[in-house]
Amino acid sequence: MIQALKKLEEDARREVSSLSDSKALDGLRVKYLGRKGLFASLSSRISEVPPEARRQAGQEINRVKQLLEALFSEKEKTLIPHPRFSEKKIDVTMPGTFLPAGRLHPLSRVIAEVSRIFGRLGFSVVEGPEVETEHHNFEALNIPLDHPARDSFDTFYLENGRLLRSQTSTVQIRVMEKSRPPLKIIAPGKVYRPDATDATHSFMFHQIEGLMVDEGTSFSELKGVLLAFAKEFFGSRTKLRFRPHFFPFTEPSAEIDIFWESCGEWLEILGAGMVHPNVFRAVHIDPEKYTGFAFGMGVERLAMLKYGVSDIRNFFENDLRFLRQF
Ligand code: PHE
């Protein structure tokens, strides 16, 4: 009997130690410790043991029983109990599943960067509608119906008498209709013109308008603000050149070119000037009391210069080989 118990103990130790999943451990537990298991059938034979050896056999039975129970519960702790994990091993060193991350369109990046720079200069970002009235796109900007300057800003007309704005200067009017100076805003957005598409023209493109109005706002402030912007956007060695120009809504007006190392030549980036008194009159701001400057820049132009893109159509064709470079 005692020998049989010893053998049972050895067998159990061997079988348990060679195991590696908890399902098999359960099976083994039944085999050894179940009601009809090996241990039960062996210990029931105590009655066959001669009376003088029974005491010792009884002790041995208790010892082996405790030992087996401890053996199984120890082993159980070393196995991962969840069947899903125990059936299928996981290799934690395998590369994970990658989700492709989106990114900003280069034009959105330029708009965000320009907004950030002007934000630091105290300008807030506002938006205006793309479908506009003739009044906001022309009359209030000092472009009467018979003015030849209408031609260059002519646009798409809708059946309800409205039009697609051809310049973000409309937002100057919308802001000044609602708020009184001091004003410092920029307004990014889409504009539309009946231009034939080529490498540098598109019927739809983006502009960022700027407007500052206060008592005593001067042309030198316009220069200072634009130079601060250009140096931050293109680099600290950037230079600006102001060329006299005509816009109906500013007087005097200028076209502004930049010179920076990577392009090595003067390139036009924006139009600007001092807000025309007639524009102030259209929004009932006293031109004797207030002065202001305005500017408008082309977002595609800025992006083409900054990133060295030679064809404006790249921005609108959704070719991922192009867009992934940003
Ligand atoms: N609206 C002008 C354009 O589209 C740019 C501009 C804005 C010029 C503000 C002067 C002042 O060309």
How would you write 39-78 as a 3-class SS string?
HHHHHHHHHHCCHHHHHHHHHHHHHHHHHHHHHHHHHHHH
Same domain for 165 and 233, yes or no, is yes
Among 28, 52, 85, where does a domain finish? Answer: 85
* Across 3-18, average pLDDT: 88
For a mutational test of ligand 1's pocket, the pick from 169, 176, 202, i.e. the residue with the most ligand atoms closer than 8 A to its C-beta, is 169
Q: How many domains, the chain?
A: 2
pLDDT at 145: 84
pLDDT at 72: 86
pLDDT at 132: 96
Axis-axis angle for helices 299-307, 106-120 (nearest 10):
100
Closest CA to 207 of 222, 223, 192, 228: 192
Atom of ligand 1 nearest to the CA of 172: 9
Position 117: which residue type?
I
Tell whether 93 is covered by a domain. no
Higher-scoring residue by pLDDT: 198, 86: 198
Q: Is the pLDDT of residue 83 over 70?
A: no
Same domain for 110 and 77, yes or no, is no
Tell whether 267 is covered by a domain. yes
State which H helix or E strand residue 241 sits in: strand 239-247
Among 40, 56, 85, where does a domain finish? Answer: 85
185: tokens are: 């805003």
Same domain for 72 and 145, yes or no, is no
Axis-axis angle for helices 2-17, 22-33 (nearest 10):
170
Same domain for 128 and 74, yes or no, is no
Same domain for 61 and 148, yes or no, is no
Same domain for 233 and 319, yes or no, is yes
The answer to whether 191 and 206 are in contact (CB under 8 A) is yes
End-to-end CA distance of the chain: 82
pLDDT at 179: 96
Same domain for 203 and 241, yes or no, is yes
Ligand 1: centre distance to CA 295 (Å):
6
Q: Where residue 318 sits, what CATH number does that domain have?
A: 3.30.930.10
Closest CA to 209 of 120, 290, 128: 128
Tell me what the pLDDT averaged over the chain comes to: 91
Give the structural domain span for 63.
2-85
Higher-scoring residue by pLDDT: 187, 78: 187
Write the burial class of residue 238 (CB in 10 Å: 0-12 exposed, 13-18 middle, 19+ buried).
middle
How far CA 321 is from CA of 59, 237, 314, 326, in Å, comes to: 81, 32, 10, 10
Same domain for 150 and 59, yes or no, is no
Residue nearest to atom 2 of ligand 1 (CA): 296
In tens, the pLDDT along 130-169 reads: 999 999 999 999 998 888 877 778 888 998 989 999 999 9
How far CA 1 is from CA of 7, 45, 55, 58, in Å, comes to: 10, 8, 12, 10
Tell whether 45 is covered by a domain. yes
Same domain for 31 and 170, yes or no, is no
Tell whether 91 is covered by a domain. no
Same domain for 45 and 76, yes or no, is yes
Same domain for 150 and 246, yes or no, is yes
Q: Is the pLDDT of residue 248 over 90?
A: yes
pLDDT at 280: 98
* Across 240-265, average pLDDT: 91
d(CA 150, CA 59): 112
Q: What are phi and psi of 182, to 5 degrees?
A: -75, 140
Tell whether 36 is covered by a domain. yes
Q: Is the pLDDT of residue 84 over 70?
A: no
Tell whether 98 is covered by a domain. no
Instruction: Please compute, for residue 110, the number of CA atoms within 13 A of its CA located in the half-sphere on the CB side.
Output: 21
Residue nearest to atom 4 of ligand 1 (CA): 167
Q: Is the pLDDT of residue 187 over 90?
A: yes
Axis-axis angle for helices 219-234, 299-307 (nearest 10):
40
Atom of ligand 1 nearest to the CA of 211: 9
Write the burial class of residue 31 (CB in 10 Å: 0-12 exposed, 13-18 middle, 19+ buried).
middle
160: tokens are: 């309800």
86 — pLDDT class (breaks 50, 70, 90): low
pLDDT at 79: 78
Tell whether 11 is covered by a domain. yes
104 — pLDDT class (breaks 50, 70, 90): very high
Report residues whose beta carbon is within 6 angstroms of any ligand 1 atom: 167, 169, 209, 247, 250, 271-273, 294-296
Residue 268: CB atoms within 10 A of its CB come to: 15
Among 56, 85, 114, where does a domain finish? Answer: 85
Same domain for 265 and 156, yes or no, is yes
